[in-house]
Structure 1
Amino acid sequence: MHIKTYILCFFAFIIGCSNIFAQESKANTTLQTKLSLDDQRKFDYYFYEAMNAKALNKYAATFDYLKYCIEIDSTNANVLYELGDYYNSLDKKNKAMDFYRKAITYDSDNFYYNMAYANLCFEFKQYSDAIEKYEALILKNSDNNELYIYLSEAYRLDGDLPKAIEALDKLEQVIGLNEKISIQKFQLYSMLKQEKKAFSEIQKYIDKYPTEIRYQILLGDLYLQSGKPHEAFMIYSKAKAIDPEDPYLISSMATYYEQTDNKAAAESELQTALVSPKMDIDTKLGILAQYVGTLQQNKKDTNVANALFDTLMTQHPQEPKLNLMYGNLLMIQDRKNDARFQYQVFAESEPTNPTGWEQMLSTTFPDSIDLAIKVCEQAISYIPDQPQFYFYLGVSKYMKEEYEGALSALQKGVVYVDPENVGLLSDFYGQMGDLFYNLGKQDSAFATYEKALQYNPSNVGILNNYSYYLSLTKKDLDKAEKMSSLTIKAEPTNPTYLDTYGWILFEQGAYALAKIYIEKALQYSEDGKEPISAEVLEHYADVLYKTDEPEKALEYWIKAKEKGDSKSKTLDKKIETKTFISE
Structure 2
Amino acid sequence: MAHITALYRKSVSLLLLFLLAGMVPLMALIQQDAEALSLKEEDRRKFDYFFYQALNAKTQGKYDEAMDLLQYCHTLDSTNANVLVELGTFYNVLQDKDKALTYFRKAVRYDASNYYYNMMLAGLSKELGLKQEVVDIYSALAEEHPGKPELQFELANAYADNGELQKAIDALNKLEKSTGISEIITLNKYRLYSLMNKKEKAFDEIQQIIDKNPADPRYLILMGDLYLEDNQPVKALDYYEKAQLIDQQYPALILSMVNYYEKTNNKTAAQTELQKAITSSSLDVETKLQLLTRYLGILQQSQQDLKQANLLFETLFVQYPSNSQLNMIYGNALVLQGDKAGAMKQFEIYAKENPTDPAGYDQMIRLALAEEDLKKIQEITTEALKHLPQEPQFYFYLGAAHYQQGNYEKALHVFEEGLKNAIISNPLLESDFHGQIGDLNYFLGNKEAAFLSYEKSLKLNPQNLSVLNNYSYYLSLEKKDLDKAEQMSGITIKAEPMNPTFLDTYGWVLYEQGSYFMAKIYIEKAIEYGKENPSAEVFEHYGDVLYQTGDKEKALEYWKKAKELGNASSKLDKKIEAGTL
Q: TM-score, normalised by structure 1?
A: 0.77
Displacement after TM superposition at 1:284 (Å): 1.3
Cα separation, 2, equivalents of 1:260 and 1:460: 50
Change (3 A) 1:250 1:380: closer
What are the equivalent positions in structure 2 for 1:348-363 lying under 5 Å apart?
348-351=352-355, 353-363=357-367
Displacement after TM superposition at 1:236 (Å): 1.3
Amino acid at match of 2:478: T
Residues 240-295 of structure 1: CA deviation (Å, up to 9, x unaligned): 11111223322322232233333332222222212222223223112323444577
Select the residue among 358, 376, 396 that pairs with 2:401: 396
Alignment partner of 1:446 is 2:489: no
Displacement after TM superposition at 1:213 (Å): 1.5
Select the residue among 56, 61, 64 that pairs with 2:65: 61
Cα separation, 2, equivalents of 1:81 and 1:448: 44
Select the residue among 320, 324, 341 that pairs with 2:324: 320
SS in 2 for 1:36: helix
Select the residue among 65, 76, 93 that pairs with 1:89: 93
Displacement after TM superposition at 1:212 (Å): 0.9
Cα separation, 2, equivalents of 1:254 and 1:227: 15
Select the residue among 224, 239, 245 that pairs with 1:220: 224
Amino acid at match of 2:282: K
1:407 alignment partner in structure 2: 412
Report how many aligned residue pairs link the two structures.
Answer: 541
Displacement after TM superposition at 1:324 (Å): 0.8
1:17 alignment partner in structure 2: none
Cα separation, 1, equivalents of 2:164 and 2:326: 47
Residues 74-111 of structure 1: CA deviation (Å, up to 9, x unaligned): 33333233222221111111222222233333333333
Displacement after TM superposition at 1:127 (Å): 2.0
1:183 alignment partner in structure 2: 187
Displacement after TM superposition at 1:218 (Å): 2.2
What are the equivalent positions in structure 2 for 1:68-107 lying under 5 Å apart?
68-107=72-111
Cα separation, 2, equivalents of 1:488 and 1:179: 59
Cα separation, 1, equivalents of 2:122 and 2:518: 54
Amino acid at match of 2:197: K
1:567 alignment partner in structure 2: 568
Q: Does the Cα contact within 8 Å between 1:535 and 1:560 map onto a contact in 2?
A: no
Displacement after TM superposition at 1:516 (Å): 8.9
Q: Does the Cα contact within 8 Å between 2:472 and 2:484 map onto a contact in 1?
A: yes
Select the residue among 468, 473, 476 that pairs with 1:471: 476
SS in 2 for 1:239: helix
Cα separation, 2, equivalents of 1:392 and 1:259: 43
Change (3 A) 1:231 1:577: farther
Change (3 A) 1:347 1:142: same
Select the residue among 238, 242, 248 that pairs with 1:244: 248
What are the equivalent positions in structure 2 for 1:138-149 lying under 5 Å apart?
138-149=142-153
Amino acid at match of 1:465: N
Select the residue among 258, 265, 268 that pairs with 2:269: 265
2:257 alignment partner in structure 1: 253
Alignment partner of 1:435 is 2:440: yes
Q: Does the Cα contact within 8 Å between 2:382 and 2:398 map onto a contact in 1?
A: no
Amino acid at match of 2:181: L
SS in 2 for 1:74: coil
CA RMSD for the aligned pairs? 4.3
Displacement after TM superposition at 1:509 (Å): 5.5
Select the residue among 98, 115, 119 that pairs with 1:115: 119
Amino acid at match of 1:369: D
Change (3 A) 1:558 1:113: farther
Displacement after TM superposition at 1:411 (Å): 4.8
Displacement after TM superposition at 1:59 (Å): 1.9
1:211 alignment partner in structure 2: 215
Residues 356-380 of structure 1: CA deviation (Å, up to 9, x unaligned): 2221111121542335335426625
1:281 alignment partner in structure 2: 285
1:4 alignment partner in structure 2: none
Displacement after TM superposition at 1:239 (Å): 1.1
Q: Does the Cα contact within 8 Å between 2:539 and 2:559 map onto a contact in 1?
A: no
Change (3 A) 1:129 1:555: farther
Change (3 A) 1:339 1:191: farther
Cα separation, 2, equivalents of 1:413 and 1:571: 38
Structure 1 unmatched ranges of 5 or more: 1-33
Q: Does the Cα contact within 8 Å between 1:168 and 1:185 map onto a contact in 2?
A: yes
Q: Does the Cα contact within 8 Å between 2:334 and 2:340 map onto a contact in 1?
A: yes
Which one is further off, 402-411 or 128-137? Answer: 402-411
Cα separation, 2, equivalents of 1:126 and 1:433: 49
RCO greater where, 1 or 2, for CA within 8 Å and sep 6 or more? 1
Cα separation, 2, equivalents of 1:344 and 1:408: 27
Change (3 A) 1:104 1:409: closer
Cα separation, 2, equivalents of 1:360 and 1:537: 38
Amino acid at match of 1:197: K
Q: Does the Cα contact within 8 Å between 1:467 and 1:484 map onto a contact in 2?
A: yes
Alignment partner of 1:417 is 2:422: yes
Cα separation, 2, equivalents of 1:456 and 1:561: 35
Percent of residue pairs bearing the same amino acid type: 47
Residues 475-528 of structure 1: CA deviation (Å, up to 9, x unaligned): 334554565567678x566835566566546545677987898799889x68xx
Cα separation, 1, equivalents of 2:191 and 2:572: 68
Q: Does the Cα contact within 8 Å between 1:470 and 1:476 map onto a contact in 2?
A: yes
SS in 2 for 1:365: helix
Cα separation, 1, equivalents of 2:254 and 2:117: 50
Bigger radius of gyration among the two:
2
Displacement after TM superposition at 1:437 (Å): 1.8
